[in-house]
Structure 1
Amino acid sequence: MLSQIKAIAFDADDTLWVNEPFFRKAEKEFCELMKDYIDEERCNQFLFEIEMQNLPLYGYGIKPFTLSLIEAAIRFSGGKISIDGINTLIERGKEMLDQPIEILDGIPETLQKLNGDYRLVMATKGDLLDQERKLIKSGLEPYFHHIEIVSDKTEVQYSKLVKHLDVKPEEFLMVGNSVKSDILPVLNIGAHAFHIPFHTTWAHEVVKEPVDHPNYRRLNSASEMLLQLGIV
């Protein structure tokens, strides 16, 4: 029951603030740069394959993405990509790291109303430095009781987080845009999950099967959380 909830964790990218569109824009620009060597469809396909190959080594985030772009450029061009071309990719990665933070609608108001009644947590995966930077720039940091940045989101990681917060799984609620990372592992440990879809989702995070679970809610916005939790 939602009345049991004591701790609420929020995913960061595309739940608190905009993230994925920057990657899609960078991919499009990359494939345009590679147009003399490979067509756009194969460019996107093979770039994704390279990212997946590198994921166990590099993890998630802009820096691993930039390294994958450089590797892909060398492969696609047969080693003919110029130093200027490589530098363009490096600079594009730096631009992504320095993007202004665009907070999603309803987030500040929702956090403000939840703060005090619940322990609020930011639970996200990716690069530690980058995620900390975005949180500070967002101005949302004061709302959170605890920050958890992990290499990946698994049942084991969520179980550790619940134990660290000293709550039972049924007293924990996760809010996020990714069914694969934010919803399914949480439901599997007996906790609650609110899914707030974002209009753009990375292919790696896409799960086609519908979720059928009593602890699951699909919402249209963060503001709907307040209604679900009985907060006016």
Structure 2
Amino acid sequence: MIKIIAFDADDTLWVNEPFFREAEEEFTALMENFVPQHTSLKELYLTEVRNLELYGYGIKGFMLSMVEAAMRISDNRISIQSIDRILEIGRDMLDKPVELLPGVEEVLAELQNDFRLVLATKGDLVDQERKLKKSGLDHYFHHIEIMSEKKEADFTKLIRHLDVTPEEFLMMGNSLKSDVLPVLGLGGHAIHIPFHITWEHERIEHEVVHDNFYQAEHIAQVVEIIKGI
């Protein structure tokens, strides 16, 4: 039944969220002269979420949100040197090496013989293309889709473009909110592969129960799961 297998990228194929945590720690340390670290962290998160509609997901929007949050926290008293350091934190993030998660390449190599593989990730176009090129995984994918959002409407458009039905489409990723629930809502299949760190905005409070939902502890387990569908 499955014809297309789509993979999320960040924290499914390679490491991503820990770099944001490191950047947040540096940011809150810079803000310590104005407010406690937990206060600046909360303000940064609220700023990021407010800005998602304007900047989308990714490091560049995160950089702009850090600058905006720093100005608000400091009541515009933040030094130009601190602003420069914030921009440097973002530039350092953009220059990070791509660290593949264990088992990723082996799974892609095995599945590409029987399925069309798709990369379906959201974020900044330039940054995601950079990471994909650095990863060396691009030759495994029949199609690359870098999405501004991952909602049912976005997956509907992708599935139509791939000329399959939702029942022939399987998505796997680390986010229940973005990778799993929208695809299940369309009648597709989804495998959740948790990562040890999840951004607060991607968390959900309820348990997922669905006939087409599968849980893997790590990516190496997905081949056996797919064989059983």
What TM-score does the superposition give when structure 2 sets the normalisation length? 0.98
Give the secondary structure class of the aligned counterpart of 2:171. strand
Give me the whole-angstrom Cα distance separating, in 2, the residues matched to 1:15 and 1:155: 20
Q: CA RMSD in A?
A: 0.9
Selected match of 1:111 from 108, 111, 120 = 108
* Aligned residue number for residue 130 of structure 1: 127
- What residue number does 2:44 align with? 47
Q: Is 2:96 the counterpart of 1:99?
A: yes
Shift of residue 70 of structure 1?
Answer: 0.5
Counterpart pick for 1:12 among 5, 9, 14: 9
Residue 188 of structure 1 aligns to a residue whose secondary structure is: helix
1:223 aligned counterpart, secondary structure = helix
Cα deviation, residue 210, structure 1: 0.6
After superposition, residues 20-169 of structure 1 pair within 5 angstroms as 20-169=17-166
| Residue type of the alignment partner of 2:64 | L
Match of 2:224 in 1: 227
The counterpart of 1:186, out of the listed 172, 175, 183, is 183
Secondary structure of the residue aligned to 1:229 is helix
For residues 163 and 53 of structure 1, the distance between their equivalents in structure 2, rounded to whole angstroms, comes to 31
What is the deviation of 1:230? 2.5
Cα deviation 1:89-131 (Å, max 9, x = unaligned):
1111000001000101110000000012100000011100000
Query: What's the secondary structure of 1:209's corresponding residue?
Result: coil
Range that drifts further, 221-230 or 173-182: 221-230
Does residue 197 (structure 1) correspond to residue 194 (structure 2)? The answer is: yes
TM-score normalized by structure 1? Answer: 0.97
Q: Deviations over 1:185-216 (max 9, x none)?
A: 00000000000000000000001101000000
Displacement of 1:229 in angstroms is 2.1
The percentage of counterpart residues that share the same residue type is 56
Instruction: Name structure 1 gaps, 5 residues minimum.
Output: none
Q: Distance in 2 between matches of 1:168 and 1:127?
A: 28
Q: Which segments of 5 or more consecutive residues in structure 2 lack a partner in the other structure?
A: none
Structure 1 CA distance, aligned partners of 2:131 and 2:118? Answer: 15
TM-fit CA distance, 1:43: 1.1
User: Secondary structure, in 3 states, of the residue corresponding to 2:227?
Assistant: coil
What residue identity is the alignment partner of 1:37? F
Residue identity matched to 1:9: A
1:208 aligns with 2:205: yes
